[in-house]
Amino acid sequence: YAMLLSLIFLIVLVAAIVGFVFRHEIKTNFESNLNLALENYNVTADGHSEAVDTIQRTLHCCGVQNYSDWERTEYFSQRGIPRSCCKNQNDCSEEDLKDPNKAKLKVFVDGCFFLVTSTMESKMSVVAGISFGIACFQLIGIILSCCLSRYITNNQYEMV
């Protein structure tokens, strides 16, 4: 049992270290994937487009760096900025979303990349605290299972 807990502890420790070391690569990869999702954004029900809409609605943001990122997409030339960027869904017409000057007043101007990464970084302390607590319980379990094993081998019980 102690060996199993030790193995799990080491796996979690290695995963945490790898995540910490490669955090900048994770950010860069996320930004490039978000840019790719904007380029391939369409109105069909694919997962990437739904994810972009969900992020924009939830975090009240638009585009990667700001709302003007949509101007470089094919979707913008056809329909303008997506409705998921609108501050008020009832006050957002398709004509407004096609004109960047009018859209600036109707959509969220902040980009999603900064908001997503700052939200993730703010939640990292909670994740680290929970992980540290679980690691402490694992270490206590390893120590107690070793003590139990030593106690059992020192006091040979009679088999009935």
Express each pLDDT in 28-81 by its tens digit. 898 898 888 888 888 556 788 888 888 898 989 998 998 888 988 888 888 888
Across-strand partners of 107? 86
Indicate the Cα dihedral angle 135, 137, 139, 140, nearest 10°.
170
* Cβ contact 86:107 at 8 Å: yes
> Higher confidence at residue 156 or residue 42?
42
Residue 120: band (very low, low, confident or very high) from pLDDT cuts 50, 70, 90:
confident
- The residues spanned by each domain of the chain are 1-158
Phi-psi region of 80 (alpha: psi -120 to 50; beta: other; left: phi over 0): left
Q: Above 60 in pLDDT, residue 158?
A: no
* Cβ contact 27:77 at 8 Å: no
State the CATH class of domain 1-158. Answer: mainly alpha
Euclidean distance between CA atoms 109 and 119, whole angstroms:
17
**What is the structure's pLDDT at 132?**
83
Express each pLDDT in 141-150 by its tens digit. 889 988 888 8
**Mean pLDDT for the chain overall:** 84
